[in-house]
A and B are shown apart, each in its own frame.
Chain A
Amino acid sequence: MLRDITLGQYFPGNSWIHRLDPRIKIMATLLFIIELFIVDNFIGFLIAAVVLGIIVAVSKVPVSYILRGLKPILLILVFTFALNMFMVKGRILWQWKFLHITAEGLELAVFMAIRLILLLMGSSMLTLCTRPIALTDGIERLLSPFKKIGLPAHDIAMMMTIALRFIPTLLEEADKIMKAQQARGADFETGNLMQRAKSLIPILVPLFVSAFRIAQDLAMAMEARCYRGGENRTRMNEMKFKGRDYAAIVMMLLFAAVIIIESKVL
């Protein structure tokens, strides 16, 4: 179950999308998220879904891989869906005692669910198609104008690199601890929600301890390799806009224009 999380995981590849400048991809993702909130009808979502579909197809990331990333939010999805479906007032379609489903509620529920799914799939495309280091480099470069007002752009980027690198390591660690506890008779699968939540405490405590131990080891290893912050640091892969990056900017703006016009007109 812990291995299903694809958010923040890189899918190695060499597609057109993979080779785009990370700054473009970050901006495009942000724009995509904003557009999803501008969209106010199903046709808009259809356009967004088609665009996302094309991006996925070009990137050659298997669809099953992206869908797996949806699993962790399945609960949130179901919860918001139910909430919208039952809570919104309007034309009643079905009623049982105090529970009722309205046409408006159903529409809103589907609407929000699509928005959530597109949101997650869209943003996971960013991390799936961008090497973590390129991603953090991109963030660092995008944030560097804010260095003047004291924003530690390099430190933020480095923290993110490390967080991404250690997600699988910490998951493995959690898995190990869970197995060790299960071997000694711990039960994580039965009982009500409260009991299950409580049974996670004996996992979290050792997990924190080992996270600190890993952090200490890593800090020492980084120092041994002459890490001294962002000053005078060079990069193996320099960032330069190429032809495809300009093409991507044009497409991005075109898509944004279509979404804006479409939501205003209809």
Chain B
Amino acid sequence: MDSIIRIENLIFEYQRDETEKPVRALKDINLEIKRGSFTAVLGKNGSGKSTLAKNLNGLLLPTGGTIYVNGYDTKDEEHIWDVRQSAGMVFQNPDNQLVSAIVEDDVAFGPENLGIEPAEIRRRVDKALNDVNMGAFKGKAPHLLSGGQKQRIAIAGVVAMKPSCIIFDEPTAMLDPKGRNEIMKIIQELHAEGITVVLITHFMEEAACADRVIIMHNGEVFLDGTPEEVFSQGEKVRSVNLDVPLAVELAAKLREEGIDIPANIIGTEEMVEYLCQYK
């Protein structure tokens, strides 16, 4: 089995209240996420990207269509916990997802829920905390940590459950640039270790790290491809009120001036590397 998440004709509707007509947040989405891949989902507020994320581990259930995670249907109540164990989720607000007042107890929360042996939980907690470089903080209280550190604890809490896939729902939206960089580094490390990553974001630079970019617009998949493919369609990206990464924009302007920049340059660092040849 090659794809970890398979979405077939997904429709999701919700009602603000009884009398109102249901709002269709997701309109007939078909996607496959490959095992071990790194997918970034971009979109403006209200594009349905967060709703999509919550559908991927059964927090929201599809109105129509089906989602398979690791082969389990998310609507199958018998396997809902298998779904959630397979597809962990990190949320936007680092404060509101930590359960315990001690870092290591919080990381242990997930494995405890899975009914794992105490000695094995201990091992997993220590490993997960080291993975996110927070080993030294295991006895601390979360409210004394910075936003970026709290978010790293939240990631460790998910990693300790040994998921095959982690869905990050705008994990850096509430962080400062330093915290943002830390989180992005950890996400890339987890991906390198073989975990499938789905990153919901509205930062273009973050999306440029992925190997696949999906742009959502009005509850539909608007663009889907490698970052190079997607960002080379600058006009289309801008038409849904998103920006292309700075490096891509610069490359386009340089091309207009007759300087040939390869199409695969989308990250700031690669751009610097490339331009410095002209020194």
Contacts and interface: CB of A to CB of B under 8 A. Distances in A.
Interface of A: 10, 12, 131-133, 161-162, 164-165, 168-169, 172, 213-214, 217-218, 220-228, 232-238
B96 A217 contact: yes
A215 to B, nearest CB: 9
Interface residues of B, number: 43
A54 to B, nearest CB: 25
A12 B140 contact: yes
Interface in B103-117: 104-105, 108-117
B171 interface: no
A221 B139 contact: no
A74 to B, nearest CB: 25
5 contacts: A131-B102, A168-B141, A221-B97, A224-B88, A226-B161
- Which residue, A172, A214, A218, has most C-beta atoms of chain B within 10 A? A218
B157 A225 contact: yes
- Which residue, B57, B116, B143, has most C-beta atoms of chain A within 10 A? B143
Contact of A234 (B54, B81, B121, B143): B121
Contacts of B54: 220
B99 interface: yes
A164 B121 CA distance: 23
Interface string B140-172: 111100000000001001100100000000000
Contacts of A162: 99
B84 A133 contact: no
- Which residue, A133, A169, A238, has most C-beta atoms of chain B within 10 A? A133
Contacts of B105: 131-133, 236
B93 interface: yes
Nearest to A169: B95
Report whether over half of chain A's contact residues are helix, strand or loop; otherwise say mixed. Answer: helix
Contacts of B141: 10, 12, 168
Contact of A218 (B59, B88, B99, B115): B99
B118 A232 contact: no
Nearest to B121: A236
Interface of B: 54, 57, 59, 81, 84-85, 88-89, 91, 93, 95-102, 104-105, 108-118, 121-122, 125, 139-143, 154, 157-158, 161
Given A225-B161, A228-B81, A234-B116, 5 more contacts: A161-B100, A162-B99, A213-B96, A214-B95, A238-B118
Given A224-B59, A225-B157, A228-B81, A235 B112 contact: yes
A162 B96 CA distance: 11
A49 B93 CA distance: 44
Contact of A225 (B93, B113, B118, B142): B113
A238 B85 CA distance: 23
- Which residue, A12, A161, A224, A235, has most C-beta atoms of chain B within 10 A? A224
Contact of B59 (A161, A172, A223, A234): A223
B96 A214 contact: yes
Given A224-B89, A225-B157, A226-B113, A236 B99 contact: no
B113 to A, nearest CB: 4
B84 A225 contact: yes
